[in-house]
Amino acid sequence: MTEKFTVDEKRLQAVGDNYKAIKTRVEEAAVKAGRNPGDVRLMAVTKTVESVYINRVLDLGADLIGENRVQEYLGKKDELHLDGVEKHLIGHLQTNKVKQIVGEVDMIESVDSVKLAKEISKVSSNKGIVTDVLVEVNVGREESKSGVYMEQLEQLLAEIAQMDGIKVRGLMTIPPICDSEKEVSEYFSAMYQSFIDIRDKKLDNINMDILSMGMSGDFEAAVANGSNIVRVGSAIFGERKYY
Ligand SMILES: *Cc1c(COP(=O)(O)O)cnc(C)c1O
């Protein structure tokens, strides 16, 4: 006999409560930083989460979700209450998966190579659309992480700016695991500085309006340092068993 999926009502309740609490904390962090709360978006990161729990936050007004894997997202999207909801791919994307995801999400936040950008450009052009992307920066220079190093950023931006069917909208990062808020804030601050520097250069064909940083453990520090999308998973949906 196959195991039947049953909805955990307590978890469903907790997910709703968590979402509302995190939403409030994001707004409070913005106010504390002297920013307009409306300028910081909360993304619900939905990887590994069953549709029924995701729909709970969508029904409460969540308007932005992030998924890591192409197959997983395509497998569950038809069950989700996605009317008016923006979908971003935030996980590492292999070139051979680009065909399947272009046109299915509103943004790909994890562009980290010319090769990947070229494929997104090609597939998008063939479909007659423009795909919005963020360039992922490996701010802590960790071997285990995707993303370009800071000093490679402008070169990659310059190359993408030449391509059709792909539009850079900003930057995304996942900082190293840090022992203190002070330490992680230094990474966020470096990202913000770079974001502003590039924005002020007004590069042709490059928009720098989105800075996606901050997760469950550090989103308040990210908001204090200029993030305008925080990506929160476990603090809303509970600890993940895998990934
Ligand atoms: C999983 C993930 C998140 C959310 O992480 P939590 O710590 O669960 O909030 C955010 N961004 C990316 C790219 C992720 O893969």
Q: What is the pLDDT along the chain (243 residues), one digit of tens a residue?
A: 567 789 999 999 999 999 999 999 999 999 999 999 999 999 999 999 999 999 999 999 999 999 999 999 999 999 999 999 999 999 999 999 999 999 999 999 999 999 999 999 999 999 999 999 999 999 999 999 999 999 999 999 999 999 999 999 999 999 999 999 999 999 999 999 999 999 999 999 999 999 999 999 999 999 999 999 999 999 999 999 766
User: What residue ranges line ligand 1, CB within 6 angstroms?
Assistant: 45, 47, 68, 90-91, 174, 215-217, 231-235
Atom of ligand 1 nearest to the CA of 237: 8
Give the integer Cα–Cα distance in Å for 216 and 192.
19
Q: Cα of 45 to ligand 1 centre, how many Å? A: 6
Tell me, rounded to whole angstroms, the distance of Cα 148 from its chain centroid.
16
| Residue having the nearest C-alpha atom to atom 12 of ligand 1 | 90
Please give the backbone phi and psi of residue 177, each rounded to the nearest 5 degrees, phi first: -65, 125
Q: Cα of 174 to ligand 1 centre, how many Å? A: 8
Asked if 212 and 229 count as a contact pair (C-beta separation under 8 A), the reply is yes
3-class state of residue 104 by DSSP:
coil
Give the integer Cα–Cα distance in Å for 35 and 235.
23
Measuring CA to CA, how many Å separate 128 from each of 44, 111, 165, 191, 207?
Answer: 29, 20, 8, 33, 20
Global confidence as pTM: 0.96
Strand boundaries in the chain, DSSP class E: 41-45, 64-67, 86-89, 107-111, 131-137, 166-173, 206-212, 229-232
CA angle, corner 177, sides to 217 and 150, nearest 5? 110
Q: Cα of 39 to ligand 1 centre, how many Å? A: 20
